[in-house]
Every structure is written in C-alpha cells, then in structure tokens.
Amino acid sequence: MDTFIDKVNKSMKKFALFGNPIQYSKSPFVHRCFSRQTGEKYSYKKILATHENFDELVFKFFREQGFGANITAPFKEMAYKIIDEKTNVAKICKSVNTIKLMKNKKLLGDNSDGIGLITDLKRLCFIRNGMNVLVIGAGGTARSIVFSILKQGCKVVITNRTIEKAELIAKNFRRFGEISVLKQNYIFSKQYDLVINATSSEIENKAPDIPYKIFNENVFCYDIFYKKIDTKFLEKVKKMGVLKYSDGIGMLVSQAAFSFKLWYEYLPNINSVIRKLRK
C-alpha cells in the first residue's frame, strides 16, 4: 500500500507561497519558468495569511499533501518557530523562507535569502572578499542576509532607523565576522564598496533617510526590493553618481532556485529566468 509520502510523490507536487501582502509577488511566475525549464510538473499557489491563521494554514496545506512552501514577509520568523527541523543557515538566521515535507512527514525549514543574494551579487560582480559593506535595515530580510555577507569575508556596517534592532543583529552575528553598528546620521564616518538597501521603505514609496553623500561612482548599490521602474533608493543613488546598481530581481530568482534545490535536489537555470522577468 502507498505510504503518505508515496501518494504525495506520485501526484503533481503542490507548493505554495505564504505571506501578506502577496498579490504582486513574482514567485509563481518564477516557479512556472522553473517547471517548464526542468520538466518537473508542479503547482505553486499564493496563500494570503494573517498573524492569527498563519500556522493553521501552513499545517492544513501540508495535511492536504503539500510538498513544499515558501514563506515571505512578515512570517519568516513565525515559520522558524513552527517547523520540526531546521538547516544550519535557518538556525543561524532564526528565520525560514523554504519548507520541505520530509519522508518522515516532518517539516524541514531552510533560508535561501542569503545564498540568493550572494549568488546575484556574484553574477553582477558586486562582491569580493574583504569589501566594506553597508546594510541599511534591521528587519527580517537584513537578519537573513548578514550571515552570508560575513561568510564572504566582507566587513559589515549595519544601520537602521530603529538603532536597537541593528545592535541586536550585530550582537547575534559578531561571532561570524566583523560587524559594527552606526546610527543613520553617522554612516559617513566610513567608506563602503557596496551598499545594500534591506529596508521595506519602498512600500511607502520612500528611500531610507540617510546621508546620501556617502555614494559616488565607486560604490556598488543593491536594493533588495524590485519593481518595474527604479526604486526610490536607486533613483537617489544614481543622482549621486553611482554607476553600478541593481534591484533585487536577481536575488528573487536565485533564492527561488535554491528553494527548488531543497525540493528537487538540483539547481535550475537562474539567468534565463532573470532575462524573462526583465522583459
């Protein structure tokens, strides 16, 4: 007789994205591309959750033969708390963006944001060992990426509107490399090779309120946010003379590819999907 996991494996695999808001998410499109490209037949739907029903919806999805899930803001920390087993990266970041149902029916949680960002920064040739990196923001996204940046041998300065949150991240990640905190108004006391906007200020159609005099033609800039036109942050840094900049489309595709890898145990092609999304 088929076991529960056999049944899940034989049917078209079901995946879902949980978040709020999710209506504009490009993840279903990215996964449709991966599915076509690899021939793996799977469905990928969006599930709008609230803080009240998030865990209930996730458990229901897996009871009803879901095979894997992605978790986006603001539930990555909640997901970390409700799953059974975690990869090392998820444990370090205390945040989960990918879940996989394992053969023993337990839920495994991973976080592919960090590796997704680094993969994209390497594609763009924006990161090298020993660089000085400024991370703006100290929310869930910043928490998910700081470890991976430190692992590349970069020195990190973290700043945030609410400085206490940046201090907490620095304290948590100090054992992995050189990380310090500066208040937004003091970030000009250092020079940076790469500046990453990891705030969600774009949702309010704003750029973070920092001294933009730190930017010049030698600074690489990356905004984790993405939209059709330049984000407010990218608009501002371009005005300051920055020549090498990018939004977060490549990170979106890369982190999705590493979720796919957790589910199917191989990596799909990333660049072709970035090209499709740019169109």
Q: For ligand ATR, which is the closer residue by CB, 35 or 199?
A: 199
- Smallest distance from the beta carbon of 202 to ligand ATR, in angstroms? 8
Distance, C-alpha 128 to centroid of its chain = 20
Piece of the chain touching ligand ATR by CB under 6 A; list 3-11, 35-43, 158-166, 188-196: 158-166
255 binds ligand ATR (CB under 6 A): no
The burial of 123, by beta-carbon neighbours within 10 Å (0-12 exposed, 13-18 middle, 19 or more buried), is given as: middle
Q: For ligand ATR, which is the closer residue by CB, 14 or 143?
A: 143
Handedness of CA 191, 195, 198, 199 (dihedral sign): positive
> Residue 150: which residues within 8 A CB-CB, separation 6 or more?
156, 173, 176, 177, 178, 179
- Smallest distance from the beta carbon of 187 to ligand ATR, in angstroms? 13
119 binds ligand ATR (CB under 6 A): no
Which residues are tagged catalytic?
A: 76
Distance, C-alpha 20 to centroid of its chain = 15
Site for ligand ATR in 9-48 (CB under 6 A): none
Rounded CA-CA distance 169/22 in Å is 26
**DSSP assignment, residue 174?**
G
Q: Does residue 100 contact residue 76 with C-beta atoms inside 8 Å?
A: no
- Smallest distance from the beta carbon of 196 to ligand ATR, in angstroms? 12
106 binds ligand ATR (CB under 6 A): no
Residue keyed to tokens 């023993």: 104
248 binds ligand ATR (CB under 6 A): no
Bond before 74 cis per omega within 30 degrees: yes
208 binds ligand ATR (CB under 6 A): yes
Site string for ligand ATR, 126-145 (x = CB under 6 A): -----------xxxxx----
87 binds ligand ATR (CB under 6 A): no
Binding site for ligand ATR (CB under 6 A): 73-74, 137-141, 160-162, 165, 199-201, 204, 206, 208-209
